[in-house]
Structure formats: structure tokens, C-alpha cells
Chain A
């Protein structure tokens, strides 16, 4: 018992994603099997560089322009100021020896953390499976997630 952790990441805010991956990596390093469902804006965290909607029309294109471009460019949930706050946060993290989100994600991959993506937000954003990073194992619906989470010992929603 106590060996499976299931997280939902529903945000692309740097501060919250940082908390999520800190717990993820601590758990995975402790021998706990971790799986993360990325949903809502969390999809932006696992978006491939340069991903954009194709043939999805004007609104999806506009949404993409205003969306976070990937894990190295996440905004902060407070005092973002068009990215200045995020830049300051990243500078402070680095100065204090705290890993960046891409660095933590590299460790997560090394430790065998499982990523799954929620289908609905991808449809809204006009993104397809190939627009997500290779580490994503499946694009699923809520029922698959609930089935998986029901077997977990710890569940967290970020």
C-alpha cells in the first residue's frame, strides 16, 4: 500500500506546476508510481515546441497566440505583468538552486512518471496528439482517469 500517486495538473501557472513536479519527483524518487493527467490549461505544459492548431479556424489561432508556449515559458499566477513576473520568478528559482520546470520534467521522465492528456481541452485548443511531447502515453477521457485514480493511494489536484 501507499505506492501509487495520481495527480491532475489543470493549470499552466509556473508556481503551481512547480509544486506539482516537486511532489511528483519526490514521490517517484521514493519508489512511488506516479501518473499525471494534464487537463485545461495544463495541456500547455506538455505542448510540443511550435505546436499550433491546423485547419481549426480563426478562434483557435487567436487562442494559441495568447497561450503559453511550453514548459520553459509558464506565467506566474500572481504578478505576472506580461511575463516580467515569470522572468523574476525563474531568476529567483535559479539563484536559489531550485530546478526549472524543464529540468524537473527531465527528471520525471527519467524516473518513469506517466503522462496522460485530457481530450476535451485539446479539442478546444485545436491540438492533436502529435502536438504533445513524446512522453504523453495516451489521450483519454475522464472515465479512464477515474478508473486509474481509484487505484491510487494518493490523489492531488493542482
Chain B
């Protein structure tokens, strides 16, 4: 179960990443953020962000246009 859900549907690069970074600042290590995005570049950018920042991407789901990413705060 995610601790925080962040709805970034309709936002385009780089806004969903910026919103995720801002949200993660206020989370505790070990907590999980569920990011909703419709920007298809998130398929590349979210894993890239996770790799760069060291916050692991636990899993991801796709429901048509909607992408869901589960990111754990390191």
C-alpha cells in the first residue's frame, strides 16, 4: 500500500518529476509514493530519476494511458 498518492495526470515533462521530487522531500525513508502519470515519457524518465536519486522503483502498472509507478524513498 502506498503512503502517498501523487496525481500527475495531464502534466508533461519535467513537471511530474519535479512534483515527485517535491513530494518525496516530506516523506520518511521506507515510505512509498504512488505516482499517476499520463505523460508516456515517464516510462523512461521515472526509472531514470530513480536510478539517479537512488530511490528504488518497486513496481509499475499500466492501465491504458494511465501509468502508475511505486517509488520507495531510500
Contact = CB atoms under 8 A, between A and B. Distances in A.
Given A29-B20, A111-B21, A99 B52 contact: no
Given A107-B18, A111-B18, A111-B21, A29 B49 contact: yes
B50 to A, nearest CB: 10
Contacts of B22: 29, 110-111
A107 B15 CA distance: 9
B36 to A, nearest CB: 14
Interface stretch (B5-13, B27-35, B65-73): B5-13
A22 B14 contact: yes
Given A25-B18, A111-B18, A30 B11 contact: no
Which residue, of A31, A97, A110, has the highest number of chain B Cβ atoms within 10 A?
A97
Nearest to B8: A97
Which of B15, B22, B49 has the most CB atoms of chain A within a 10 A radius of its CB?
B15
B17 A29 contact: yes
Interface string B48-68: 010011000000000000000
Interface size class of B (residues with CB under 8 A): 10 to 19
Q: How large is the interface on A (under 10, 10 to 19, 20 to 34, 35 or more residues)?
A: 10 to 19
A30 B10 contact: no
A31 B17 contact: no
A156 interface: no
30 contacts: A22-B14, A23-B14, A25-B14, A25-B18, A26-B13, A26-B17, A26-B18, A26-B45, A29-B14, A29-B20, A29-B22, A29-B49, A30-B17, A30-B21, A30-B49, A30-B52, A30-B53, A31-B52, A32-B52, A96-B12, A97-B10, A97-B11, A97-B12, A97-B39, A98-B12, A99-B15, A107-B15, A107-B18, A111-B18, A111-B21
